[in-house]
Structure 1
């Protein structure tokens, strides 16, 4: 019995996903599935099943290119899958899943605002399920992942309140449907705690800065960044703002002191000249005493 197109494409996709550890082999299976679906003989068959298979194949190609660290190629195939799903009026949960995959790629590329928009688009498609009494497993997983991803991307953008809200909503669904010990529930609790701790630290820092600014000891015009006082009044030694050197008069004294110290140090040069220095000092003293004696003689 000849294998149908649907069975062949599904088999190739399964073989590809089971062969991701051997990338070339996985890519070969996926490219064969893509070729079959885009073949001229089947291209005119715009039936929902064929488009659904094409969406699955595009998503798996995106998964492959993400695994080999080619995020831009992965993003191309995800957008192709999204286009096919929109044309075929696919299930909202399937479209939401593709948006979440796009969110993950944008985050990997550092485009966090676009990642937020993709997560919000996923949640928009999942809103119709939120009021149902029982939710399918894939919808529950998508809701939890969507709120978790949204919280992460808001953290990257430093929008901590929105991040807390997203984590809280995700935790609500995770605890209710997946249980408190589920991996996603634990991750959401940890993420929410980290954001709360960070927000508290940030608020504490801001409050301490505000208190310091309002403290009377520091609330003075003399330290204000802008002042109406002339610079000369605040800076009598004419030191440049930000310059930590001593005033010029002190610098001269310091240099003179260094010169005197250097002259007294027992270097070879000083030792050679010391005799002449002492002798000239004595001669000077004699001349001074002779002048005093002459003055006394004239006064007597």
Structure 2
């Protein structure tokens, strides 16, 4: 999105003009409006207008709560977590980190687990051709490799990793130190296993 790029380029005036225009254009498109509210929240958070950022995130979440569970809802919860943390509302921030984790895990399971009907059909076909157990295991391995190499899967794992890391940060603020250590460890394990040790997120978690 051009407005997001303008924010990254350090052009806040251009960014807010584009975002306000996008808000008008998305008036009858709830998905687009929720996305625009998220981007407006990012703009105001970057401008340290945290309460205004929180207001836009609440608007985005109100829209997304009426829609089927989607990956974007997890992103909104993570943005809420970040803003609430800056406002020192760490208990609420922690709750939003948990919500992000639940949503990402649910979407990963729904979208990336093998279809049971497809597995049963493949199993029957292998049995009909007297396929060996080794062939069956190889087929499952190929299916898993295909699943975990997709861009969508890795994008969601990145969000899940960040969610666990943010949860750990909030747990530290809440003096839940044992839980924080476990959450940091979980974030690192997800990153190393599914994103690779050379990924930027993985490297940041080891610093």
Alpha-carbon spacing, 1:115–1:36, altered in 2? closer, same or farther (3 Å): same
| Separation (CA, whole Å) in 2 of partners of 1:86 and 1:177 | 29
Residue 108 (str. 1) matches residue 95 (str. 2): no
Residue 72 (str. 1) matches residue 51 (str. 2): yes
Structure 1 window deviating more from structure 2 (179-188 vs 117-126): it is 179-188
| Separation (CA, whole Å) in 1 of partners of 2:78 and 2:11 | 26
Aligned residues: CA RMSD: 1.7
Q: Equivalent residue of 2:201, what SS?
A: helix
Per-residue CA distance 1:178-220 (angstroms, 9 max, x = gap):
1123332233334xxxxxxxxxxxxxxxxxxxxxxxxxxxxxx
Instruction: Count how many residue pairs are aligned between Structure 1 and Structure 2.
Output: 166
Higher relative contact order (CA 8 A, sep 6+): 2
Q: Equivalent residue of 2:40, what SS?
A: helix
Written as runs of structure 1 = structure 2, the 5 A alignment for 1:56-67 is 56-67=35-46
Task: Assess if the C-alpha contact under 8 Å between 1:52 and 1:90 holds in 2.
Answer: no
Q: Equivalent residue of 1:55, what SS?
A: helix
Written as runs of structure 1 = structure 2, the 5 A alignment for 1:118-197 is 118-128=96-106, 129=108, 132=113, 133=144, 134-135=147-148, 136-190=153-207
The residue number in structure 1 matching 2:11 is: 22
| Separation (CA, whole Å) in 2 of partners of 1:184 and 1:18 | 21
| Separation (CA, whole Å) in 1 of partners of 2:155 and 2:198 | 19
Residue 82 (str. 1) matches residue 99 (str. 2): no
TM-superposed CA distance for 1:101, in Å, is: 0.7
Stretches of structure 1 that go unaligned for 5 or more consecutive residues are 1-13, 43-49, 191-300
Written as runs of structure 1 = structure 2, the 5 A alignment for 1:1-300 is 14-20=1-7, 21-38=10-27, 42=28, 50-91=29-70, 93-128=71-106, 129=108, 132=113, 133=144, 134-135=147-148, 136-190=153-207
Task: Assess if the C-alpha contact under 8 Å between 1:144 and 1:170 holds in 2.
Answer: yes
TM-superposed CA distance for 1:90, in Å, is: 4.9
Larger radius of gyration: 1
| Separation (CA, whole Å) in 2 of partners of 1:85 and 1:163 | 29
Task: Assess if the C-alpha contact under 8 Å between 1:51 and 1:88 holds in 2.
Answer: no
| Separation (CA, whole Å) in 1 of partners of 2:202 and 2:25 | 41
| Separation (CA, whole Å) in 1 of partners of 2:162 and 2:77 | 11
TM-superposed CA distance for 1:149, in Å, is: 0.5
Stretches of structure 2 that go unaligned for 5 or more consecutive residues are 114-143
Q: Which has the higher helix share?
A: 2
Q: Provide TM-score, normalisation by structure 1.
A: 0.52
| Separation (CA, whole Å) in 2 of partners of 1:116 and 1:53 | 27
TM-superposed CA distance for 1:124, in Å, is: 1.2
| Separation (CA, whole Å) in 1 of partners of 2:205 and 2:167 | 12
Q: Provide TM-score, normalisation by structure 2.
A: 0.74
| Separation (CA, whole Å) in 2 of partners of 1:148 and 1:17 | 24
Tell me which stretches of 4 or more aligned residues in structure 1 moved more than 3 Å: 130-133
